[in-house]
Amino acid sequence: MRGQLDPQSSMFHYFSPESRVPADHPLRRVKKLADRALAAISADLNALYSSVGRPSIPPERLLKGQLLIALYSIRSDRQFCEQLDYNIL
């Protein structure tokens, strides 16, 4: 079953990650492009997931993570998680 983005996930943070990124940061433009591309393939992604079972991590979140890994030349998913904790990318 395909996982969904939780709009209330911000209640678990003391600050918004969006507020930590400057308004003119290049990642904001990259995020808009990624969101547009992922919206275009959303129907195809839905077709790949079952309607029953345990929800997965939303594929949009996984793909955006992989994009950040490529942009920041991070070697592994584990190192990416460590960098997120350390740098709040």
pLDDT in tens, 52-69: 999 888 999 999 999 999
CB-based contact 58:4 (threshold 8 Å)? yes
pLDDT in tens, 7-44: 665 555 566 777 778 899 999 999 999 999 999 999 99
- 2: pLDDT confidence band, cut at 50, 70 and 90? confident
- 42 — phi, psi (to 5°)? -60, -40
Mean pLDDT of 83-89: 77
Between CA 29 and CA 47 the distance in angstroms is 28
The whole-model pTM stands at 0.74
Amino acid identity at 29:
R
User: Which class for 31: exposed (0-12), middle (13-18), buried (19 or more C-beta within 10 A)?
Assistant: middle
